[in-house]
Chain A
């Protein structure tokens, strides 16, 4: 291995690497966002108190059961296997020829959704009971309480876990090469297959993966700090105290 050969691979194949990295980032970003939304919906649903009316209670029970099954199944099986089952399964069973990219986004989304549901539920449970009580005491209903008081705080609290999911997704999309999505791993494999320089090619992929995950982590850390706001408070409306005295010149 020489440094020159690494440079050579980059200069010859940079559009492929770039496209691969782009696809990886696209799948993991869209997948994380959709997954977070799925998680938010299911997480909120799972904290709704058990309804009093029989009909509503049955629906609540059935949906709860379905969501539990979804979470357990997708957390309990590897994504690489899910990808094969969903992609080839849908083609065989229903004759659907899914676009590979959409299939990839779909798989990452529902996989992330399963994890995020539990993260969101944990986030809601961790909010102080007093926040719910204060909102109820004012006369807010469950949806208003969630929307205006609880969820904004949950969002902040689950941000670190969400960025964790994002980073995991950037790395784990590499398993989607089994359904031939042209993400970074798949592209690298193709490049290496042509030039037989496996070590150099994958070293480059390694660096690209690291740069992506590191940047994402930093950006989300920055957003977290932005959301937290300043540690100290400057009093409002104290202009009276800061005006400088005006001395009139004696003439």
Chain B
């Protein structure tokens, strides 16, 4: 298996509070990895460190053989290779659904208007939002916003797609539509890294599950194994709650 992102001895502290303690972790090409754990375990912070929304305090992130935490590395050039889907959607409020999917392609990837719109339309169709391309975010429901956000991330054609609790801010009846989109994405061979509280979903789509607690990776392994036969006591205690 070919690693896409390798994380070595990653540390992150907010002041004196150590959120991530020496994380070692690899994401391979085509793999769907879910990170689970209770709130405050550092799983979202890990995801945000990977695309540098939080600056790690120590360690290395190796992407295409280079440590992107070197001072010389161009942060924005690296970031365009990673897609991010946020808990709060974060659609650009001043753009409509199509514009949200086009602006990054035009300004960062320097694609032509025509090409960017074609690509955007393709992905908007994939997520079932082609009827809403001219709608502003304020016109859309939570589930619809998140589907556009997924299309926006896909339109950049990233190497890895990061999901930061994509369904946590949704009303229960809208969770399904977003998870369905993610499920069909998982089957396309896209590399995905998902932070989630949806255990059933994680079990169904993931090639590998990572369990985090108090800033460390406690246990990881294939979904079946981790859910049915966890070896660590902390993993068992966490899974008993579901």
When the two chains form their complex, are residues B86 and A130 in contact, meaning their CB atoms are under 8 A apart?
A: yes
Q: Which residue of chain B has the shortest Cβ distance to A154 in the bound complex? A: B94
Assembled-state Cα–Cα distance A104/B235 (Å): 73
Residues of B within 8 Å of A236, CB to CB, are 130-135
Assembled-state Cα–Cα distance A238/B133 (Å): 12
Specify which of A52, A232, A235 lies most central, judged by the most chain B CB atoms within 10 Å of its CB.
Answer: A235
Q: Which residue of chain B has the shortest Cβ distance to A148 in the bound complex? A: B103
B76 interface residue (CB < 8 Å to A): yes
| Interface residues in A, total, Cβ within 8 A | 26
When the two chains form their complex, are residues A130 and B135 in contact, meaning their CB atoms are under 8 A apart?
A: no
Residues of A within 8 Å of B132, CB to CB, are 233, 235-236
When the two chains form their complex, are residues A233 and B84 in contact, meaning their CB atoms are under 8 A apart?
A: no
When the two chains form their complex, are residues A139 and B104 in contact, meaning their CB atoms are under 8 A apart?
A: yes
When the two chains form their complex, are residues B136 and A229 in contact, meaning their CB atoms are under 8 A apart?
A: yes
Within the complex, which residue of A131, A136, A137 is in contact with B93, where a contact is CB–CB below 8 Å? A131
CB < 8 Å A-B pair total: 84
Residues of A within 8 Å of B103, CB to CB, are 138, 148-149
B25 interface residue (CB < 8 Å to A): no
Residues of A within 8 Å of B113, CB to CB, are none
Specify which of B82, B103, B107 lies most central, judged by the most chain A CB atoms within 10 Å of its CB.
Answer: B107
B residues in contact (CB < 8 Å) with A: 51, 53, 71, 76-80, 82-84, 86, 88-95, 103-104, 107-108, 130-136, 139-140, 152, 156
Could you write out 6 A-B pairs with CB less than 8 Å apart? A131-B90, A138-B80, A140-B107, A153-B93, A156-B94, A232-B139
Q: A128-B90, A134-B91, A138-B152 are in contact. List 18 more A-B contacts (CB 8 A).
A: A52-B71, A128-B88, A133-B84, A134-B84, A138-B80, A139-B76, A139-B78, A139-B104, A140-B104, A140-B108, A141-B76, A144-B108, A148-B92, A233-B132, A233-B135, A233-B140, A235-B132, A237-B130
